[in-house]
Structure 1
Amino acid sequence: MKLFKLIPLLLLFVMASCSSVQVATDYDSSVNFSQFKTYAFMKDGVDKINISDLDKKRILKAIDEELTAKGFTKSENPDLLINLFTDAKQIVNVNTFYGGWGYGMYRPWGWNPWMMGPGYQSVSTSTQGILYIDVLKAANKELIWQGKGSGYLATKQSKKEERIKEFVTKVLETFPK
């Protein structure tokens, strides 16, 4: 009976630990973030990102939405500059499955895995993306906040915008306002 009471709690922990975007942030604790009201993107930094122009637009749109929701205004004469970096790496997953003809042949020093029956391997690849969002003081281009989000990228075209928005939202969640 006690086990049934623990199952919802265990499911909550499992769901919380399976966040699809892992985030790390850092900032200059001596900066008073409430003094900043406007922002702009660093054009030369955004132009250097090695992703498609469509994905760039998606990222910039998502950042615009998040910063506007936090009360910031896009400006030609900004208090803050937003710079971006991206990276991606291929992850190869190899899984081996055994058909199993029983528990194997017992030996005094352990089980013999060769007696487990025929097996097969499944190989799949996925892409893990990393998005860095840097926030700099416009006056002196000093880095004052940095957020990093990493997670698997969407493979279906229809899910790209949703996935990019999730990355940006998670990274900017802790941005002070």
Structure 2
Amino acid sequence: MIADHHAMAGSLACLLFGLAACTSIDVRTEHDPAADFSRFKTFAFAERPVAEESGLDNDAAARDRIESALSRELTNRDVHRVRVEQQPDLTVYYAVAVHEKIQKAWRTGYGWGARYGGGQTTYPYEEGTLIVDLVDPVKQELMWRATMNTHLEETSTGRLDQADRAIARAFEQYPPRTEAAK
């Protein structure tokens, strides 16, 4: 019975860490406070570098999903996609990074002899970061940046859904209130 209690406590800890990982997306935005965001009516995605560290070049589904989510959010704010050669008001850059991490958790419980008090367990996971930059292509200046961090889900579908939710949350803060808009 005590062994069952320990197994159940360990399973509960895994479940709680898994739920926390699924629901927590840290979204931060920053912007040029002097920018007049009302003048940005068109955007285009920047040309992608040939080789990218994140491996996004090999993942067409991820690129398509991220670009689709970014297009949706900008279009919903009356900023429409054009081709780069049409001289957009904003150029959109984005980058994805994935890092291996280890979560440490303390087990508690009672056992025979020296096992009283539990011990430490580790859980490996991956953390993902998505950075989106909106750049004025004429001035080559950053106008707005969103940085999104989360524990990644294990499936590619889950990860794509996370990217979608993160982008939607980031754009809740776009366009920002600026000095130029006052």
Question: Do the two structures share a fold, i.e. TM-score over 0.5?
Answer: yes
What SS does the aligned partner of 2:150 have?
A: strand
CA 1:33–1:98 in 2, change beyond 3 Å: closer, same or farther? Answer: closer
In structure 2, stretches of 5+ residues that fail to align are 1-21, 177-182
For the aligned residue pairs, the C-alpha RMSD in angstroms reads: 2.7
| Structure 1 consecutive aligned stretches of length 4 or more whose deviation exceeds 4 Å | none
What SS does the aligned partner of 2:173 have?
A: coil
Distance 1:58 1:148 in 2: 17
CA 1:142–1:70 in 2, change beyond 3 Å: closer, same or farther? Answer: same
In structure 1, stretches of 5+ residues that fail to align are 1-17, 105-113
Aligned partner letter, 1:56: R
- CA drift of 1:127 comes to 0.9
Distance 1:154 1:57 in 2: 19
Match of 2:40 in 1: 36
Match of 1:72 in 2: 79
Deviations 1:149-171 (A, max 9, x none): 11111212332331110111122
From the CA coordinates, give the structure whose radius of gyration is larger. Answer: 1
Deviations 1:72-113 (A, max 9, x none): 1101221100001222212212334243159x9xxxxxxxxx
Match of 1:154 in 2: 153
Distance 2:143 2:80 in 1: 18
- Give the percent of matched residue pairs that are identical in Structure 1 and Structure 2: 24
- Which of 70, 76, 87 is 1:63 aligned to? 70
TM-score when normalising by structure 2: 0.71
Query: Structure 1 residue 82 and structure 2 residue 92: aligned?
Result: yes
